[in-house]
Chains A and B, each alone.
Chain A
Amino acid sequence: MTAASPIKEHYDLAVVGAGPAGLAAATLAARLGLDTVLFDEQTAPGGQIYRSVTETPAGEPTLLGADYWHGAGLVGPFMESGAQYVPGATIWSISREREIGVSVGGCSRLLTARHIVLATGALERPFPIPGWTLPGVMTCGAAQILLKSSGLVASGKIVLAGTGPLLWLLAAQYLRAGVTIEALLDTTPAGNWAAALPYLPGFLVSSYAAKGLRLVREVKHRVKIVRGVTALAAKGGDRVEEVVYRRGEAGEVRLPVETLLLHQGVAPNVNLANSIGCTHRWDEAQLCFTPVVDEWGMSTVPGIAIAGDGAGIAGAMAAEHRGRLAALDAAHRLGKIDARRRDRDAAPHAAALARAERGRRFLDLLYRPAEAFRVPAGETLVCRCEEVTARQVLEAVALGCQGPNQLKSFLRCGMGPCQGRLCGLTVTELIARARGVPPSEIGYYRLRPPVKPITLAELAALPQTEAAAKAVLRG
């Protein structure tokens, strides 16, 4: 690992993201002799799942749990691997020719790579309820990041709401840290159990089963669990003051709250892959767009592979195995190993991947978020950046707006700084319902570089060729 080395103009392999997939891919690729660089937006390795694993102040081993500390076993070998590590690096552009635009410390540069592995991971699914933009409302993932990176926990009256494993994991971690949780509002639709049941045998033999049951048991005796929540809203003036919920036909219940933590699963972070032009398809089980990749993670664009949750949600253990498979394939394509060696070395990782993927289908179906929490109505904000409501989106559809890209011209929806990350899936499903066609037909925003905002000054300071300057300058 060579943190302080200058960024070169060319590499064999560039890896984007230092979560489990990126760390595992870069480590193995460097060991196989590829000149490898790993860019990561965060200031320390680990991604979100192993966030701050080398430096967390929440160091009491049982607080974050053994699954978290597993990440340290990925960081150590990576640091020894010979791959170059560039933290604090925002990738704002990747072309089909694999030219990469990266910003580090407010300064941008361009470089090229023969092969790229995108390991950009997942982000939390939008949770568009009334009041979700109020200060004091944040995601469970955000609360967990504050715990991992700064040893910070919410204080005062805290309510967790939503569905999915992270909701229970955060509740358990908060309880271990001595935090009192007023209530956990479970929005898992009752009908999900029936849909998931046929996949129960696969789940029971997975590593998730025992852990999941233990978590639920740890939480349910110490926190008021409200199951079957069908409507949810955050209310307040300059900050959230109460959470209002309903269960079916029963009346509204109001709880005073200072911090409301929301979560309803995760979806692939597809912005970079989408902007490069990789083909994506709608995944009806996971309710998100997923890039089309082969068994090695190769996308539909030559030289661009995708590993980890960015290629479809499968969890942290699967991510590291997918990272290794992508690295082996990269080494083969770049002439370091032949196909026989690649296939032989891949066998244990492919087997481990299959084991890690067990039980996923059950989890997808059990924690499938209710339509009411995915497809908002009325004055609920869809696009947080441009403050576009569900009603406005539906009005645009009534005027003939066909899809997300036209919606940009109608309402600037998705055109704020987050570039659709917090509204894209909502917009697709909202338009699909309104038009009565499947989300696959509606599609997603067409994303273009810069995929993260950079200043004009930073762009202007990029080195330019004489020909490029002549093309725009007169006389």
Chain B
Amino acid sequence: MFQRLKRSEARTVSLSVDGRPVTAFSGDSVAAALLAAGILACRTTPVSGAPRAPYCMMGVCFECLVTIDGVGSRQACLARVRDGMRIETQQGRREAGR
């Protein structure tokens, strides 16, 4: 799990993750927001269905793929949170048209 160091004047942002409301701070990446909210695994793999979580946080490992506002396989560590953002974790293989 991850926790925040004290932080005073940051603006909060409201997201939904798999339909549940989550509060993040502006400036967070989506991956950081998920970890701060206690959501560790963000997808399961297409090959074996194993759970995966952010690993590198710098855009090279592609473990943190999630669906953001309907667009699948976005790198959560490279996307910044925005108010009203809809995030879905990904289960196994992607399907065409989703």
Contacts and interface: CB of A to CB of B under 8 A. Distances in A.
A139 B3 contact: no
Given A138-B56, A258-B1, A386 B47 contact: yes
A44 to B, nearest CB: 8
A135 B42 CA distance: 9
B45 to A, nearest CB: 6
A89 to B, nearest CB: 11
Interface string A124-162: 100000000101111101100110011111111000000
Interface string A149-179: 1111111100000000000000000000100
Interface stretch (A313-321, A415-423, A463-471): A415-423
A80 interface: no
A42 interface: yes
Interface string A206-242: 0000000000000000000000000000000011000
A43 interface: yes
A150 B32 contact: yes
B1 A387 contact: no
B56 A123 contact: yes
B35 A453 contact: no
B4 A387 contact: no
Given A43-B80, A417-B65, A150 B25 contact: yes
A47 B46 CA distance: 31
Contact of A124 (B47, B56, B80): B56
Interface in B27-58: 27-29, 32, 35-36, 40-41, 45, 47-48, 50-58
A145 B2 contact: no
A413 to B, nearest CB: 12
A134 B38 CA distance: 15
A40 B51 CA distance: 30
Given A123-B60, A422-B61, A453-B73, A152 B4 contact: yes
Given A150-B25, A151-B4, A145 B63 contact: no
A200 interface: no
Contact of A135 (B4, B32, B51): B51
A181 to B, nearest CB: 15
A105 B28 CA distance: 17
Contacts of B41: 135, 238-239
A264 to B, nearest CB: 14
Contacts of A146: 2, 32, 35, 57
B7 interface: yes
A185 B4 CA distance: 25
